[in-house]
Amino acid sequence: MAAEYRNKFKKDIIIDIIGYRKYGHNELDQPSFTQPLMYERVNKMKNVLDKYEDQLIEEGILTREEAKTEYRDRIWKHMMDNYEIARQKEAEKAIWVTSEWDTIKLPENLTEFRNTGLPIEKLRSIGKKITKIPKSFNAHRMIRKIYEK
């Protein structure tokens, strides 16, 4: 649409898009920590599948019954079939490991471990301190859960 607008009117256009992942980037991520107002709205939103399904029903492409049974079953089967193919490929490493990965080296392959000048017990002590939340600090319950794990 932006390209068509630019071609027709010979003017630039700005598209302001806000993207999100409803459940964060990974199992430890809690997007409501960093974007609480945005995720308050996101949590109230209808999911994309339901929105699309409603649109198809409104346009007369599907009936509600077809959408809830045949349509979802067919899509679910398609996703599970491809998931199984991906799992097999991952096990074989044929599709995932390419020659480009050969150039990536682990740190221990690039240099020898060196003496940092700190005794191992001092490093362990520091490690224990930075992985404990002080009792006097009121951390979010999810942060506490992560630290406990």
- Distance between the two ends of the chain, CA-based, in angstroms? 48
pLDDT tens track for 26-46: 666 778 777 889 889 988 989
- Enter the tokens of residue 125: 């002590």
In Å, what is the CA distance from 29 to each residue of 2, 48, 118, 123? 33, 21, 33, 27
Residues 78 and 57 in one domain: yes
CA distance 142 to 29: 10
DSSP 106-147: -HHHHS-----SS-HHHHHHHHHHHTS--TTS---HHHHHHH
Residue 114 pLDDT: 73
Q: Is 104 within the bounds of a domain? A: no
Q: Is 137 within the bounds of a domain? A: yes
Residues 53 and 89 in one domain: yes
Q: Is 107 within the bounds of a domain? A: no
The highest-confidence range among 27-36, 42-51, 95-104, 140-149, by mean pLDDT, is 42-51
Q: Is 103 within the bounds of a domain? A: no
CA distance 74 to 72: 5
pLDDT(108) > 90 = no
Residues 34 and 8 in one domain: yes
Whether the CB-CB separation of 36 and 42 falls below 8 Å is answered with no
Domain range for 24 is 1-45
Please provide the average confidence, as pLDDT, over all residues in the chain: 83
Q: Is 112 within the bounds of a domain? A: no
Residues 62 and 35 in one domain: no
Q: Is 17 within the bounds of a domain? A: yes
Residue 112 pLDDT: 72
Q: Is 110 within the bounds of a domain? A: no
Residues 39 and 50 in one domain: no
Q: How many domains does the chain have?
A: 3
Residues 24 and 60 in one domain: no
Residues 39 and 52 in one domain: no
Q: Is 111 within the bounds of a domain? A: no
In Å, what is the CA distance from 108 to each residue of 86, 97, 99, 132? 31, 21, 20, 29
- Enter the tokens of residue 1: 């649409």
pLDDT(49) > 70 = yes
Residues 67 and 77 in one domain: yes
pTM: 0.43
